[in-house]
Amino acid sequence: MTALTTGTSGIISFIGVGSNLEDPLARALEAIEYMRQISGCRVLRRSSFYQTEPVGVLDQHWFINAVVEIRTELTAVKLLGELQEIEKRMGRQKQQKWGPRVIDLDILLHGQEVIGEDDLIVPHPELHKRRFALEPLHEIASYVIHPAFGISIAGLRERLTDKSKVEIIKETRMVS
């Protein structure tokens, strides 16, 4: 891993981490370790892990979700490429939308950028609708302003209509 040139250069990004296959907590931890190895990125902190009810496709195992805050010198497009490479390395196969997955890494926010390309939309287009993403993001960055809506993460959470179950996991083993 290449260290950043200074402690304050780069963009603060928030990455959603999710898994519901093959020991989901272990897969989430593995993905975070891979994120630590991305050149031009530094993991700053992560939320607690949450056990979350599936959304969209309900007939599947519950998910483990978290949010990781990173400082990166990468553009959102390059960061997406790195995250997709981690997913591929971990055996992710894109099959069913909202279906089961060994790992899912999503750029939720990339600084205050608003990007609308065919293969990348930032902020994540479902962020404001999904309790499984807002709860862990709120835990570590309630004050951050959603760049498209001009509302804090705390404000989005207060307005949330998603009633799906999201429960913090009391961690019983050492995690990063």
The structure's pTM equals 0.91
> Residue 164 sits in which domain range?
11-168
Q: Give pLDDT, residue 83.
A: 98
Instruction: Give the residue with greater pLDDT, 171 vs 151.
Output: 151
Q: Is residue 118 among the annotated active site residues?
A: no
Q: Is residue 92 among the annotated active site residues?
A: yes
Q: What is the CATH number of the domain that holds 20?
A: 3.30.70.560
Q: pLDDT of 61-83, one tens digit each? A: 999 999 999 999 999 999 999 99
Q: pLDDT of 45-57, one tens digit each? A: 999 999 999 988 8
On the question of pLDDT at 174 being above 60, the answer is no
Question: 5 lies in a domain?
Answer: no
Question: 174 lies in a domain?
Answer: no
Q: Give pLDDT, residue 171.
A: 64
Give me the catalytic one of 46, 92, 130, 131: 92
What confidence category does residue 3 fall into, taking pLDDT thresholds of 50, 70 and 90?
very low
Give me the catalytic one of 42, 71, 101, 131: 101
Q: Is residue 27 among the annotated active site residues?
A: no
Give me the catalytic one of 27, 42, 71, 104: 104
The total number of residues written for the chain in this structure: 176
